[in-house]
């Protein structure tokens, strides 16, 4: 068992009390490491189901760059890991869909579920840079009235 020690006011070496600032920082660091491990495991699970992802963590904003198929194979895994993304984000989440080349009803349902989770957590979720065929499906399902869609005309970056 590992125990932190400190020197008290009388010069005696005593155990560091539980809940001290040093212990809280250590707990926070280990939680960050655990969260990162879960995220990497989630990304691997998505890749095995045909949906690649890169995550950019910026102050207050998380950007998810998706590529591949957002369909019944990947939708449930996307939902599972999205909770961790919400926990790691303070203001907003952008889902960059420029790399998504196929989407089905369950993929759209996963996006709506993710939007609802973000909203319930006080976060903004925006869909960015949809390809025309994906945008057509979102529009046909009338989801453009529900989800916030940002028409970013920035450089076309498809993560590898």
pLDDT tens per residue, range 30-83: 446 777 778 788 888 888 999 999 988 888 889 999 999 999 999 999 998 898
Rounded CA-CA distance 101/85 in Å is 23
Rounded CA-CA distance 31/12 in Å is 32
Which residue is listed with tokens 């994906």? Answer: 134
Nearest to 51 by CA among 96, 15, 88: 96
> What is the count of structural domains for the chain?
1
On whether residue 101 sits in a domain, the answer given is yes
pLDDT of residue 113: 96
pLDDT tens per residue, range 119-128: 999 999 999 9
Q: Is the pTM of this model over 0.75?
A: no
What's the chain's Rg over C-alpha atoms? 20
pLDDT tens per residue, range 9-32: 554 545 555 554 444 334 444 446
On whether residue 71 sits in a domain, the answer given is yes
On whether residue 66 sits in a domain, the answer given is yes
**Domain range holding 76?**
19-150
């Amino acid at each position: 068992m590992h125990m932190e020690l400190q020197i008290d006011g009388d010069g005696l070496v005593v155990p560091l009390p539980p809940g001290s600032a040093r212990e809280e920082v250590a707990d926070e660091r280990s939680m960050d490491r655990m969260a990162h491990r879960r995220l990497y495991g989630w990304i691997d699970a998505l890749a095995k189901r045909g949906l690649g992802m890169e995550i950019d963590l910026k102050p207050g904003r998380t950007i998810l760059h998706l590529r591949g198929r957002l369909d019944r194979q990947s939708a449930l895994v996307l939902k599972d890991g999205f909770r961790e993304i919400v926990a790691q984000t303070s203001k907003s989440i952008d889902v960059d869909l420029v790399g998504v080349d196929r989407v089905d009803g369950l993929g759209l349902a996963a996006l709506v579920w993710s939007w609802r989770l973000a909203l319930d957590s006080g976060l903004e979720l925006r869909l960015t840079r949809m390809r025309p065929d994906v945008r057509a499906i979102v529009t046909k399902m009338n989801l453009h009235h529900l989800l916030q869609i940002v028409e970013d005309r920035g450089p076309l970056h498809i993560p590898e």
